């Protein structure tokens, strides 16, 4: 299995090199040269298998000969043994033909755990095999940081630096990052929004000499292994609802677009995904790109769904590459121009290709609160504001051709104030949240200064 860059100026690599690099050296993102395909019988069979077994099967398609199947099976078994639901990602029926896919049963109560727990094991295997150490840098809008901190705490050969926007995430999100007590995990509170954090991270990788000197790696959704691991719950949900003999639609709360892109990837691999609703909050860059054809960056707006307060969605570059005929030159030119101007105009052909699969929708703060209220009133289910964004989009969709699965990306206890304000009900703290209260936080403030960050990384490497 080989991987190419979306910008076409980097050599092909195998899975392990793509895993450890995260981003390609030409500034692009790795994607399979050819997407693996699953037979209809394989997809149908997933309905009867444990989640960890399905995950190992899917990851084996991406890893090729790089990682032996028994290693993948052991990594997946260990990763999902830490989840508090035997199904890992259970489906709950909310209404006729509408389901909620609960992705928050991992150690930090967010969907990021599903991929990050696997990445921790994959990094440990790859670094031991190559006798290497690496500096992993993660920019987070809230949930990636906590999932990375818990997954990589104590992993030999890994120094983890997390950049998060100070004051723009919930206290529970922050404490999952800052309370591991692990010597190999450091959290930097950046005095800016998430887009600035992500830009700082990308600037480190853009300095190729610095990246080589410090052994940089990325575990954001720019890492193709994250996308591979997120494909699994689309397959398990689809199989549970009758795929491949039945088409499925998904409503996905999206900020950096990795989760929605993983849904598209499963379609490329054979899952009959009929529609994907990319649901945004007031930071509606992706929704506007899909609906209006203009991908335009603006100032990030603070909302009650902070993990989606993003105005530069990294994985949109992968989607652009796929639907521009896998044209490296066109994608490279578009996103190099976007870095300068903050805007891409999608061609009519590209818009039409995206429209075959995607709908874009945005939810206001009032829409989000109303969706939380309705879910509680009509089904007795408390949902967090990110899930509510997707539910609001699903409820307003005119699509009726397939069951609609709403991805629930975080436990309501991570956003108790928003849930209480909308429903009048305070979510009960799971043990993982209650435990955080007695732990000491470790964090360091930093200005949004790339050179200061480089100095920090060098001093630790």
Active site residues: 112
Q: Which residues contact 216 (CB under 8 A, 6 or more apart)?
A: 22, 134, 135, 136, 137, 204, 205, 210, 457
Torsion, Cα 61 66 71 73, to 10 degrees, reads 0
Q: Which long-range contacts (CB under 8 A, 24 or more apart) does 289-292 make?
A: 289/316, 289/344, 289/346, 289/360, 290/354, 290/355, 290/358, 290/359, 290/360, 291/359, 291/360
Instruction: Confirm if 5 and 30 have CB atoms less than 8 A apart.
Output: yes
Instruction: Pull the structure tokens for residue 227.
Output: 């996308």
Contact indicator for 245, 127 with CB cutoff of 8 Å: no
Q: Which two tokens stand for residue 61?
A: 């398609």
Tokens of 104: 């928050």
- Tell me the backbone φ, ψ of residue 368, rounded to 5 degrees: -65, -45
Q: Rounded CA gap, 16 and 5, in Å?
A: 15
Residue 375 · residue 395 · CB < 8 Å: no
- DSSP 8-class letter at 23: B
CA torsion 227-232-233-238 (nearest 10°) is 120
CB atoms within 10 A of CB 437: 11
């Amino acid at each position: 299995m080989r991987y190419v860059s979306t910008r076409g100026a980097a050599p092909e690599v195998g899975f392990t090199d793509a895993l450890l690099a995260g981003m390609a050296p030409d500034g692009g993102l790795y994607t399979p040269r050819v997407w693996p395909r699953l037979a209809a019988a394989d997809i149908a069979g997933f309905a009867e298998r444990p989640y960890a077994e399905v995950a190992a099967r899917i990851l084996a398609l991406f890893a090729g000969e790089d990682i032996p199947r028994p290693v993948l099976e052991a990594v997946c078994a260990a990763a999902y043994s830490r989840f508090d639901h035997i199904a890992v990602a259970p489906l709950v029926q909310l209404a006729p033909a509408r389901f909620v896919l609960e992705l928050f049963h991992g150690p930090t109560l967010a969907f990021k755990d599903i991929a990050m727990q696997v990445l921790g094991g994959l990094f440990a295997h790859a670094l031991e095999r190559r006798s290497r150490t690496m500096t992993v840098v993660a920019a987070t809008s809230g949930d990636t940081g906590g999932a990375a901190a818990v997954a990589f705490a104590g992993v030999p050969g890994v120094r983890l630096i997390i950049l998060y926007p100070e004051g723009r995430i919930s206290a529970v999100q922050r404490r999952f990052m800052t309370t591991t007590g692990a010597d190999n995990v450091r959290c930097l509170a950046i005095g800016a929004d998430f887009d600035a954090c992500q830009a700082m991270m990308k600037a480190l990788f853009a300095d190729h000499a610095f990246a080589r000197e410090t052994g940089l790696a990325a575990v954001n959704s720019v890492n193709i292994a994250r996308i591979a691991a997120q494909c699994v719950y689309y397959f398990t949900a689809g199989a549970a609802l009758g795929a491949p003999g039945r088409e499925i639609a998904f409503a996905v709360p999206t900020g950096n677009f990795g989760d929605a892109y993983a849904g598209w990837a499963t379609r490329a691999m054979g899952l009959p995904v009929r529609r994907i609703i990319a649901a945004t909050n007031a930071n509606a860059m992706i929704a506007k790109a899909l609906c209006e054809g203009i991908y335009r960056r603006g100032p990030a707006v603070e909302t009650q769904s902070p993990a989606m307060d993003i105005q530069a969605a990294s994985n949109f570059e992968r989607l652009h590459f796929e639907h521009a005929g896998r044209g490296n030159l066109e994608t490279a030119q578009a996103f190099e121009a976007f870095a300068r101007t903050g805007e891409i105009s999608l061609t009519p052909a590209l818009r039409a290709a995206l429209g075959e699969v995607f709908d874009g929708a945005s939810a206001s703060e009032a829409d989000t609160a109303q969706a939380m209220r309705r879910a509680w009133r009509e089904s007795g289910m408390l949902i967090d504001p990110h899930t509510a964004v997707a539910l609001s989009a699903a409820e307003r969709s005119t699509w009726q051709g397939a069951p609609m699965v709403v991805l629930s990306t975080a436990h309501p206890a991570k956003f108790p104030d928003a849930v209480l304000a909308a429903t009048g009900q305070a979510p009960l703290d799971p043990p993982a949240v209650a435990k955080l209260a007695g732990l000491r936080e470790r964090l360091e403030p930093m200005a949004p200064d790339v050179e200061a960050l480089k100095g920090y990384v060098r001093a630790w490497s």
